[in-house]
Structure 1
Amino acid sequence: MTDEEFSLADFYDTLDEQGHPLTTAARLAARLDVTHAEAEDRLEALVGEGVERVDVSADPVVFYPSDWADTQDRERVVLFADNREIVADQPSQWTRARLSNIAHLEDTTHEGAYRYRIRKEDIWAAPHETLDALLSTLREVTGKRDNGLEEFVESQWRRSHAFRLETHEDGYVVLTARSDDLMGNVGRQKLDDGQLRARIDDRTAWVNEDEVASVKRTLYEAGYPVQDERHLEEGDPLPMDLTLDLRDYQQEWVNRFVTSESGVLVGPPGSGKTVAAMGVMDALEGETLILVPSRDLARQWRQALLDHTTLTREQIGEYHGGEKNIRPVTIATYRTAAMDRHRHLFDGRKWGLIVYDEVHHIPSDVHRRTADLQAVSRLGLSATPVREDDRETDIYTLIGPPIGTDWDALFEAGFVQEPEVEIRYVPWGDDLDRYEWADADGHKRRQLAASNPAKTEEIRQIRRAYPRAKTLVFVDYLDQGNRLAEELGVPFVSGETPHPRRERLFSQFRAGERDTLVISRVGDEGIDLPDAELAILASGLGGSRRQGSQRAGRTMRPAGRALVFVLATRGTGEEDFAQRQTQHLARKGVRVTEQDAQAPAFREEEDEAVGGEDATDGDAVEPPAEESEGNR
C-alpha cells in the first residue's frame, strides 16, 4: 500500500478493527506492518480532510474523525466490546431494528449517531429461538466476533433458560431447573416454603399457584428470568374482525406477540398501540379483559372497539365505579379488578387475552394483584415504561418481554410527529413572590415555584406566537389550575370535574369548539385529544420522566406540528425537574432546547437569586387520575 492508497475509508476501517474511536501511528504501523514514520505520514496526510490530531502525554499524537457524519455517507457500526457498547452512525432501519433486539438504545443525536448498550436484560428478552441465532444477529450487525462479549451473551442466555414453569400432567404448576445444582443452589435457596409447596425430584418442585408471579419476580431479581411454559386453559372463543388496515410495523407487533403469547408493546404516543391491540384480539379471537387506569380510558376503549371492530354493544361491558357489566370483552379499571370483592367475577371467566393498558402502573402494590388473573395471553401497552421508583423490570417480569419499534423510524416515516421540545426558564415577576418562596421550605417551596404567577404571561406569549394551535396547559396544583383558567379565560379540567362535564369539554376540544384547556393529571395518559398541537407544561410532578413524555405525547400525531414548552422558574429546583422531565424524550432522539422566557416583561436582566432550592420530590395537590370505587 502506498501513501496515496491510505484513504479516509481505510482510516475508518482501522478504527473498526481496533474497536476504538481513535488511533495512533504506533497502532497503525502494527496493523499495516510499516514503520512508525510511514504510518505517521499517512495519518498526517488526512488531517484536515476528515481527521483531526491532538498531542497527549501517553502517545505523542492521536488521530480521530473530525466529523463522523460529514465525512462518511455509508453506515458504520463500531463495537466497543469491553464496555458492551455499540455506536452506529447513519444506520439503516434494518440495522436499528436488529440492534433493538439485542441492545438498549442509550443515546442518539439529530446527526444520526446512535449509542447502544448490551445489558443482561436485553439478552434475556432477545426474540431468538436459539443461542446460535442470537450470536448470528450480533455478528451480522457488528461485522465481527469478540470472544469476551460472546461469552457474556452465552452466560446470560443460559441464565434466561435455567428455569421454566410448566403444567404437570395432573394439572398443577411445577418449576423445573436445567440441572440439579441450579435447583439446589438457586431455586431452593431463593424461594421459600410459601412459594414452593413440595419437592418432586432433584430438578422439579411443586409451585403454589397463588405465588407464581412472586416466584418469577424472585428468580428474575436473582438474575434468572423464568420461561413461562404453562398450558393455561383455552379461553372462551370470541369471533371478531378488525375493520381497518394495520400499518406494517403494527402488523409486525401483532405477529411477534401471537408467536410469544405475552409481551409489552412499547411505542411513542400516537403510534397506534390500541389499534395493534385490537389486531391481537382479531388474531386470537378469544374473550378479552382490558385493564385501564381510569373510567375515561374505559369509555374510549369501548368506543374504539365499536368503531373499528365487528363487536357489538352487547358484547362489550365496562366494570368500574360507574358501571358493572361482565361481557365477552370487559373493560375494567385496575383498582376495581384488584379488589377482593370483585376478583371472583374476573377469575371465573376463561379469558383468552388480558390487555394491560398503560402497563407502567402494574408494578404498584395494588395494581400488581391483577397480574395473577389467569389468561392464555397477556399484552401490555405503554409509551413510557419508566418509573421513578426503579421498578421498570417488574413490568416485563409480570407481563412479558418488550415488543417495539425504533421511535426514529416512525418519525422518519411520518407515522408520528416528532415534537419540538423547549424548556423556558421564567424569572419571578414580583419580588414579593420571590421573597415568599425564599422564606418557605419543603413542599410549600416547591408549590410556590411551580405556581410562579409570572408563568401566566409566558403562557400568553407562547399562545400569541402560535395563535391557531389547539393548546393544552398542564398543571399539577389545583389552585394554580383554577387561577390560570380564570386569567386565561378557559376551562380547567381536573379530577374534581364531574365526568359528564369533563367529557363535554373534551368533545368540544376535539370538535374545534374550544382551542385551549387547562388540565391536571387527568390528561397525562389515555385521554384521546388527537388534534392537540401545543402542550405547555406549567408545572409537573417533581421531574417525572413518564409524565413529561405523556404530556408531550398529547401532541404527537401524524399531521401538523407538535410543540411542547416546559416552564421552569429560574433559580429553583424546577430547572432540574424540567431537565429530568424531558430526559426520556431526549433518549428517544427528540431534540430538547433551552432558553429564557420570552414575555416582554421578563427580558430585563434578572436580580440575583434569593436563597437556594430544596429539589427533593414532593406530593402535588392534584391526586393521580386513577379511579376508586366511587366517583371522584
Structure 2
Amino acid sequence: MSEQSESDDAGLSAARFHEVVQELGRPVLSASDAARILGVSQATASDLLDTLADAGRIERVDVSGDPVVWYPSDLQSFADREHVIAFPDRRELVVEHPEQFTRAQLAQFAHLVDSTRDGAYIYRIREEDIWQAPYDHLDGLLRTMRSVLPERSPHLEEWVERQWTRARRFALVTHPDGYTLLSASSPDLMGNVARQKLEAGEHLRADVSDTESWVNDDAVGEVKRVLYEAGYPVQDQRDLETGDPLDVDLTLDLREYQAHWVERFEESGSGVFVGPPGSGKTVAAMGAMASVGGETLVLVPSRDLAEQWHASLLEHTTLTDEQIGEYHGGTKEIRPVTIATYQTAGMDRHRMLFDERRWGLIVYDEVHHVPAAVYRRSADLQAKHRLGLSATPTREDDREKEIFTLIGPPIGTDWSALFEAGFVAEPEVEIRYVPWGDDLSRNEYASAEGHERRQVAAMNPAKVDAVRALLDAHPDQKTLVFVEYLEQGRILAEALDAPFISGEMRHGERGVHFRAFRDGERETLVISRVGDEGIDLPNAEVAIVASGLGGSRRQGAQRAGRTMRPTGSARMYVLATRGTTEEDYARRQLRHLASKGVRVTEGDAPGFEEGSEGEESGNDDADFDDRDDLDAA
C-alpha cells in the first residue's frame, strides 16, 4: 500500500465503519474482516479501528477465538438502518426498516408478499409486475430498480428485459378496412401460441397472414384474457370508437400529475388511473372525457357514488343537468353522459339500452369490482375508450390482472410523490392492541372456531373504552369509527351518542347524517362497510377501525383513504384484540398501505399500555376473502 493510501486510511470515519459492517452483513467485525473489505493489512486495520474506538466512535471487546472485535457505539441505531438484501435467483427482496422512498420505488416493480414484526418487508418480483410496470421504456424501469437494489444483478436484469419484451409480442390493431387484427411478432408465436390457444370461429375469424389473424369483435376481451393467461399480455393499439360527439370542457385546471395521466390515456386510449384517495382521480377522468369528446357511460358500484358523480360533473365541467342522466334502482335516464351502477348495467333487460348508444368512453369507477362475476359483463364494451379509477386495484383472489387486461394498463403517480408535494396528506397509521375486556369473552374466543372466533375477537367489549380514549385524544376532530358487525355498531353508537350508518338505514337518512358530518354539525359517525367506498367524506381527520380485520387489503387502504386529503392531519387507528388472529389480520390488511410508502406503527391502545398478553396468535382462520358486507346496501 502506498504512503498516500496509508494516510487516507488513517482518517477512517464512523460512517465508513458503518459501510464496512453493512457490507459484511453483521454488526460486529474483527480486524481481519476490516482488512479484507478495506484492502489493507490486518495490522493497519487494527490500528485504524483502535483509533476510532479511542475517539469514542465505536466500541471494542475481547472475545474468545479472536483477540478483539469492534461494533457501532449505537448498536440499536445501526440495527434500525435500512438494509436491502436481494435474492436474484428467487427474484425476492428482503428490506429491513425501509424508508418511504424505497417502499414507493419497490411498488413500481415488485409485490409485497409479507412483513414481520421486527420491521422487515419481503417483496417478490413477478412476471405481471414487469408487464404492468408504469414505464414507457425499459431504461426507466431498470433505473428505478438500480436505485433500490444494493448492487446490480445482470441475471435479474436479463430476466426483466425478457419479461418486458414478452409483454410486447402481441398487439391488437385496426385494419385499414376497419376490422380488428391480432398481430404477432413472429409466425412461430402466431402459429404455436395464438392459433393453438384461441378457437377458430369463436375467437379468430380468419387467418390474414403468417403473423396476423382477424378477430371477432365480440371476442376481443376473451382474446386478451386467454393470451394473458398463456403468459403473453396483448397491447391494445386499435383505433377506438369516439362515439357520438359531446362538447365538454373542464372549469378548473388539472394538476401537473393529473394532466400527465390524461396525456398517457390519450396515447393508449385505455388505462386505469391509480392514485391515493384525495388525489383527484374523478377530476382527471373528466379531463379524459373532454379529451375523447364523445358521449360517456360512467359505471359505479352504488347509488351514492352515482349522485356524487352527477354533482361533480355539474361543478367541474360545462355540462348541464339536462345532459347528465342516472340509471339505477332510483331513476332510469339515458343521456349523453349516463351514470349507471354495475349491477343494473349488467342485467339483460337493461343491457340493450346501453349497447344501442354510441358511447365514446366507458369509465369504470372503483374498477376493482370489474372481475367479480356480477360485474364482469360490463367489461365486454371493448371497442370504446376505457378508463378505470381506483386507489387500490388489488383483489384478495389475485385477479387484479383481469382489471388491466379488460380495461387497460395502470396509469398513476407514486403515492410518496403526492405526499411530498403536499397534494395529499400522508396518513399516520397505527395498529393498537387491546386486551380482553372480561374473562367471559376470552373463554368464548378460546372455545370458538372459524368465523365465530373472528367475531368474538372483533367484538371484544374493551374496544368501547379504547375508542372512547382515542376520541378523547382527538377532541374537535371529525372521526369515522368503522365496524364489521351490526350489533357492535349499535353498541358503539349508543356509547358514543353517535349515529350508526349501515345498510339498514334508508338512503335519504344516510344523506342527512353525511351532510351534517361534512358541514361540521356532527364530529363522529359509526359506520359499517357501506362507508368503505362511494361516500364522499372529505373532512374526515381520524379513522378508527374497531373491527373488520377479516376483510381485504384494499379495505384497509380505503378506510385509511377517508383521512387522506390535501390539507390537515390524517390519522388512522386499527384496533386488534391482543393474542388473537386479529393481530395478524391487522398487519396483513395494512400491507398494501406499507407497500405504497405509508409507515405503519404498532403499540398498545390508550389506557391499556400495561395490557395483558392473552393467547398466542394462531392461523386456524387466517383466510381472506372479498365477501360482501353483512349489511350491504
Establish whether TM, by shorter chain, passes 0.5.
yes
| Distance in 2, Cα, partners of 1:283 & 1:96 | 33
Cα–Cα, structure 1 residues 225 and 610, in superposed 2: closer, same or farther, change >3 Å? closer
2:208 corresponds in structure 1 to 200
1:430 corresponds in structure 2 to 438
Cα–Cα, structure 1 residues 582 and 14, in superposed 2: closer, same or farther, change >3 Å? closer
1:629 corresponds in structure 2 to none
- The worse-fitting range, judged by mean Cα deviation, of 171-180 and 609-618 is 609-618
Q: Find 1:3's aligned residue among 3, 6, 22.
A: 6
| Distance in 2, Cα, partners of 1:62 & 1:199 | 73
| Distance in 2, Cα, partners of 1:321 & 1:176 | 43
CA drift at 1:588: 2.2
1:516 corresponds in structure 2 to 524
CA drift at 1:52: 9.5
1:217 corresponds in structure 2 to 225
1:162 corresponds in structure 2 to 169
The answer (yes or no) to whether the contact 1:53–1:63 under 8 Å persists in 2 is yes
2:197 maps to amino acid: K
1:378 corresponds in structure 2 to 386
| Distance in 2, Cα, partners of 1:586 & 1:426 | 22
1:357 corresponds in structure 2 to 365
The equivalences for 1:242-261 within 5 A come to 242-261=250-269
1:242 maps to amino acid: L
CA drift at 1:150: 3.9
SS at match of 1:244: coil
Cα–Cα, structure 1 residues 479 and 96, in superposed 2: closer, same or farther, change >3 Å? closer
| Distance in 1, Cα, partners of 2:373 & 2:108 | 30
SS at match of 2:360: strand
The answer (yes or no) to whether the contact 2:14–2:58 under 8 Å persists in 1 is no
Q: Does 1:505 align with 2:513?
A: yes
1:561 maps to amino acid: S
| Distance in 2, Cα, partners of 1:537 & 1:563 | 11
The equivalences for 1:58-69 within 5 A come to none
2:548 corresponds in structure 1 to 540
Cα–Cα, structure 1 residues 148 and 550, in superposed 2: closer, same or farther, change >3 Å? same
2:192 maps to amino acid: N
SS at match of 1:157: helix
| Distance in 2, Cα, partners of 1:38 & 1:428 | 59
CA drift at 1:106: 8.3
1:447 maps to amino acid: Q
Q: Does 1:470 align with 2:478?
A: yes
1:441 corresponds in structure 2 to 449
Cα–Cα, structure 1 residues 60 and 531, in superposed 2: closer, same or farther, change >3 Å? farther
CA drift at 1:64: 10
CA drift at 1:597: 3.1
How many residues get paired?
Answer: 619
The equivalences for 1:114-133 within 5 A come to 119-126=126-133
Q: Find 1:176's aligned residue among 175, 183, 189.
A: 183
Q: Find 2:621's aligned residue among 605, 615, 624.
A: 615
Cα–Cα, structure 1 residues 582 and 128, in superposed 2: closer, same or farther, change >3 Å? closer
1:572 corresponds in structure 2 to 580
1:152 corresponds in structure 2 to 159
| Distance in 1, Cα, partners of 2:259 & 2:26 | 38
Residue deviations 1:196-234, cap 9 Å, x none? 344333322333333322221222222211111222323
SS at match of 1:351: coil
TM score, norm. by length of structure 1 = 0.84
The equivalences for 1:2-151 within 5 A come to 2-6=5-9, 119-126=126-133, 147-151=154-158
Percent identical residues: 63
| Distance in 2, Cα, partners of 1:548 & 1:169 | 48
| Distance in 2, Cα, partners of 1:566 & 1:516 | 16
SS at match of 1:428: coil
| Distance in 1, Cα, partners of 2:185 & 2:73 | 51
Q: Does 1:286 align with 2:294?
A: yes
CA drift at 1:598: 2.7
- The worse-fitting range, judged by mean Cα deviation, of 37-46 and 574-583 is 37-46
SS at match of 2:453: helix
Cα–Cα, structure 1 residues 428 and 108, in superposed 2: closer, same or farther, change >3 Å? closer
| Distance in 2, Cα, partners of 1:464 & 1:344 | 54
CA drift at 1:176: 1.9
- The worse-fitting range, judged by mean Cα deviation, of 534-543 and 32-41 is 32-41
The answer (yes or no) to whether the contact 2:425–2:569 under 8 Å persists in 1 is yes
2:506 maps to amino acid: P
The answer (yes or no) to whether the contact 2:371–2:402 under 8 Å persists in 1 is yes
SS at match of 1:268: coil
- The worse-fitting range, judged by mean Cα deviation, of 231-240 and 610-619 is 610-619
Cα–Cα, structure 1 residues 526 and 50, in superposed 2: closer, same or farther, change >3 Å? farther
1:431 maps to amino acid: D
- The worse-fitting range, judged by mean Cα deviation, of 231-240 and 312-321 is 231-240
CA drift at 1:313: 0.4
| Distance in 2, Cα, partners of 1:63 & 1:261 | 60
Cα–Cα, structure 1 residues 116 and 460, in superposed 2: closer, same or farther, change >3 Å? closer
| Distance in 2, Cα, partners of 1:523 & 1:504 | 15
Cα–Cα, structure 1 residues 186 and 460, in superposed 2: closer, same or farther, change >3 Å? same
CA drift at 1:272: 1.4
| Distance in 2, Cα, partners of 1:328 & 1:366 | 25
The answer (yes or no) to whether the contact 2:429–2:571 under 8 Å persists in 1 is yes
| Distance in 2, Cα, partners of 1:608 & 1:98 | 38
Q: Does 1:271 align with 2:279?
A: yes
CA drift at 1:504: 1.0
CA drift at 1:135: 6.0
2:579 maps to amino acid: G
Q: Which runs of 5+ in 1 are unaligned?
A: 627-631
Residue deviations 1:254-307, cap 9 Å, x none? 222222222211111111111221222223322211111101001001101111
SS at match of 1:542: coil
SS at match of 1:2: helix
Q: Does 1:190 align with 2:197?
A: yes
Cα–Cα, structure 1 residues 246 and 66, in superposed 2: closer, same or farther, change >3 Å? farther
| Distance in 2, Cα, partners of 1:579 & 1:245 | 39
2:160 maps to amino acid: V
SS at match of 1:219: helix
The equivalences for 1:296-375 within 5 A come to 296-375=304-383
| Distance in 2, Cα, partners of 1:319 & 1:338 | 12
1:422 maps to amino acid: E
CA drift at 1:534: 1.5
CA drift at 1:487: 2.6
CA drift at 1:586: 2.0
| Distance in 1, Cα, partners of 2:36 & 2:555 | 53
| Distance in 1, Cα, partners of 2:160 & 2:503 | 48
CA drift at 1:566: 1.2
**RMSD of Structure 2 on Structure 1 (CA):** 4.4
Cα–Cα, structure 1 residues 123 and 218, in superposed 2: closer, same or farther, change >3 Å? same
Cα–Cα, structure 1 residues 514 and 175, in superposed 2: closer, same or farther, change >3 Å? same
The answer (yes or no) to whether the contact 2:100–2:597 under 8 Å persists in 1 is no
CA drift at 1:140: 8.9
The answer (yes or no) to whether the contact 1:108–1:589 under 8 Å persists in 2 is no
CA drift at 1:528: 0.6
| Distance in 1, Cα, partners of 2:215 & 2:24 | 47
CA drift at 1:595: 2.4
The answer (yes or no) to whether the contact 2:269–2:385 under 8 Å persists in 1 is yes
| Distance in 1, Cα, partners of 2:14 & 2:107 | 27
